[in-house]
Structure 1
Amino acid sequence: MKKYISLFGLLIMINAANSQNGKVMDTIYANEQMTVSLFFPDPIRQGVTGSSNYAFSFNRERAQYFGLLQATPGEESNLLVVTQNGGVYSYLLRYSQKLEKLNYFIDNSDSIGHERTGATTLPHQKMSTVDLDTIPNSDKALDYPKLCAQLLRNPRPFDQIKYKDGLTISMTKSIYYAKDVYVVFEIENGSQIDFEINTLNLYKVNGNNKRKSSYQELLLSPIFQFQRPTVVLMDQTVQFVCVYPKFTLGNGEKLMVKLEELNGSRDIAVKLKYRVLK
């Protein structure tokens, strides 16, 4: 997280100078079927996107000049890249089913400025600090959209199910892959009222909640979320994937899912007991 704090500080400086220049950012289009390649004039040091439905990957162990971009359907976002020599590059990102360009060769003149001296051209920036926390920090960041999409195309049985007030939440056994754990969730809204999601959290729990002194809940924070909705319309069923860092369950430990409604009381909590699949 610390490495994103300094980068977020850079974003603040660029935004602060936004009124000084009106240059329009170039737009890069991407989707989940094709890989878009970006070649920079200097090796990449940092790269972040403003939304988790865009994945930008590059070699973090051995500096290289190119990065790879993929996207899943969603609103437009932006990409910020800092190269080894301090050059700053910024682009708008949009999802498109049809891609007319797969390779971008970027010149030094495309830089919006230098991280030490500030911006020379000032595009409009839009980035969420919350989204920064969900950016995969693995060299295989590009794999997340592909693997999640594959899980939804080839679903496993939902064998953990909870029903309440016309709502049903289901989940598959956790799937272990490349030091991460993938969980497919399904929410079915059989009621006549739309369900706005406030939170959906996964916990490791230990002990009995009737004996408060021995009861513990440990929140498992996702590192990537794929097609997670903010609202489930009435008579609608949605599926999505959450990716978590590898975890194990000790003796007496269980998993618990809590689904809470925004501006409502239709909250669901269910405890689960099962092993992680490999």
Structure 2
Amino acid sequence: MKKYIIISALIIVSAFAKAQQQPIPLDTIYANDTKNVALFFPEPIRQGITGSDNFVFTYNREKEQYFGLLQAKPGKESNLLVVNRNGSIFSYIVRYKKQLSKLNYFIPLSNSIGNEKPIKVDSILAESSEERVDNRKYYYQKFCSYLLNRNQRIGRIKKRNEGIVLSVENIVFDKKELYFVIQIENNSSLDYDLNFLNLSIETRQKGKRKSLQRLYQEPIYKHNLPSKIAKSETVRFVYVLPKFSLSDDRRAILELNEKDGERNIELKISHRYINNPN
């Protein structure tokens, strides 16, 4: 009888060990660039990371919530890793699909592939400001890369001077920020050395003595801003600014200034584009 119990126990342990060694199959979640796919988790999301710039997973980093939104653009499949506040880890394959049959995923705790060491509430509250800044910078990098790869335009906002063309391709609102996707084309035979590119708000003063007043807007983050645009080169980059809106007597001015040159451009952006971003 003892021998039978020992053999049975060994069989169970062996089967358990083999089960532990077998990889856990990952579910596939499909997304595209025209709709938000919502993922609802059993605990608030602490961290979410995609393996490729083709995919963007957004969630509330300031106040932990139970859901996140996934978007994708055409490209190779990647993966999504999500960690809940209680340390539960979820991993999925993510793929682009033009037509989506499912827009909401309610994910049970049983889908968790493991658990990391839980973080105490006290340690979350004591998170340093430097870590918060790093997290936001990482988010800006990922979202800006996504916007540069996304084929979306807000309108025809363009001006040229001596072969230099300055244009705003897109203005996107996300969370509490406005993202300006900017393009500079150098169609001239000379390199263009960038002195500065400033965004200001211009107010037209009413009355007999009309005047203009400008207020410079400091970007929170600049993504891929070049210092030089070579001849026959086109560059695209993103400015991130705190969200703002404009009345009909105000407009935004994008001012491009050349270092040691005079090929300067002032591009006027109507309040309609600022107040109705993508």
When normalised by structure 1's length, the TM-score is 0.50
Ranked by relative contact order (alpha carbons within 8 Å, sequence separation 6 or more), the top structure is 1
Name whichever structure is richer in helix by fraction. Answer: 2
When normalised by structure 2's length, the TM-score is 0.50
